Structure 1
Amino acid sequence: MKTVWIVDAAYLYNFGRSRPNGFDYLKLKNELVKANGGPLYESYYLNSTGDPNAEAQNAFHTWIKSAPPKGPQMRVQLYKLKEQHNQCPSCGTRFDRTVQKGVDVAIATLMIKLAAQGIYDRVILSAGDGDFEDAISYLKSDLHKEVWLNGAQATLSADLQCYADRVLWLDDMGSSIDR
């Protein structure tokens, strides 16, 4: 069975921030390989970046592309950040923040495109946003693909969980994925 792993990097980043030592992508991939019962056919890392030339980011992206045993060997797809202008409804204070632009659409498109091309039989999605519900429903109902979710109990949408053939809880992986 060919399995593809697709990562919403912002989702895993937020999970990592909740852990004292963060987590390691290579160790996480090794846990997913064990659960899968064999190697992953392809792995994708999708994220946004504000400064594509930042030295630390470039080093991380080089590492994440690297093959084992050095790195997790993931294909990296980066998108731009956008400025979001906000106003506090209570006090009226204006503030700006940067948010991802296009990553969720890219993940949904990638899942469907690869499935339609027959690239995989099973997808493991490391994401928790309920916005993926329509894409996952289509994968299962129309394209007859197996969908595994990989997420945290506190942040994995029930709208996705109800479609999952299996949920691989990050919380249960504990020290085996710690940095």
Structure 2
Amino acid sequence: MRTVWIIDAAYLFNHGKSRPFDYLKLKNHLETLNGEPLYESYFLNSAQDTSSDDLQGFYNWLKSAPPKGPKFRVQLYKLKSMHLRCPDCGKTFDRQVQKGVDVGIATLIIKLAAQGAYDRLILCAGDGDFEDAISYVKSELRKEIWLCGSMTNLSPDLQSYADKVLWLEDMSPMIDR
């Protein structure tokens, strides 16, 4: 069975703030649960500046094949400035937000399914906005859906379509740094 793993990097980053984990260990554990190697793995994120040595080193490590790295296809999107006003004091400020990552993930889910690139999708994302894409590939294209996420913020809308839910908290002993 061909399995593709798609990661919303911001989603996993937020989980990792409270419980740091290792991407390579997580991939190895998912392959164990899957019963065979993953066909492809995708890491989608937004980044304002990827030229820093640390960030470039991290992305290069993500792209590196085992045993050195987890061998992800890294897709980076730009950040955009959102102009906001504080409701209490009225002061205006800018906040950087993702632009295009969710659309990129939904497009990748559907495109790869339509191309027959996978039979099973493992999605590490918690946003209910992916419901239409997941519903389509499950109901119309007959793909198996596994969700990998946190008990604190995995959309029930997505859970309702999952053939299997893999809780990061349950995997902690195997994936912690």
- TM-score bin, normalised by smaller chain: over 0.9
What corresponds to 1:11 in structure 2?
A: 11
Q: Post-superposition, which runs of at least 4 consecutive aligned residues in structure 1 deviate over 3 A?
A: none
Q: How many angstroms does 1:18 deviate by?
A: 1.2
What corresponds to 2:132 in structure 1?
A: 134
> Deviations for 1:12-57, whole angstroms, at most 9, x for unmatched residues?
00000011xx110000001110111111000000001100211111
Give the counterpart letter for 1:170 in structure 2.
Answer: L
Counting only pairs closer than 5 Å after superposition, residues 25-174 of structure 1 correspond to structure 2 as 25-174=23-172
Task: Flag structure 2 segments of 5+ consecutive residues without an equivalent.
Answer: none
What corresponds to 2:22 in structure 1?
A: 24
Contact 2:46–2:101 under 8 Å retained in 1:
yes
Using structure 2 for the length normalisation, give the TM-score.
0.98
Give the counterpart letter for 1:121 in structure 2.
Answer: D
Task: Flag structure 1 segments of 5+ consecutive residues without an equivalent.
Answer: none
Q: Tell me the percent identity.
A: 68
> Deviations for 1:117-152, whole angstroms, at most 9, x for unmatched residues?
000000000000010001000011111111100000
CA distance in 2, matches of 1:133, 1:88: 32
Give the counterpart letter for 2:18 in structure 1.
Answer: S
Q: CA RMSD in A?
A: 0.8
Using structure 1 for the length normalisation, give the TM-score.
0.97
Q: Find the residue that maps to 1:85 and give its secondary structure.
A: strand
> Deviations for 1:44-87, whole angstroms, at most 9, x for unmatched residues?
00001100211111000000001111100110000100011111
Give the counterpart letter for 1:95 in structure 2.
Answer: F
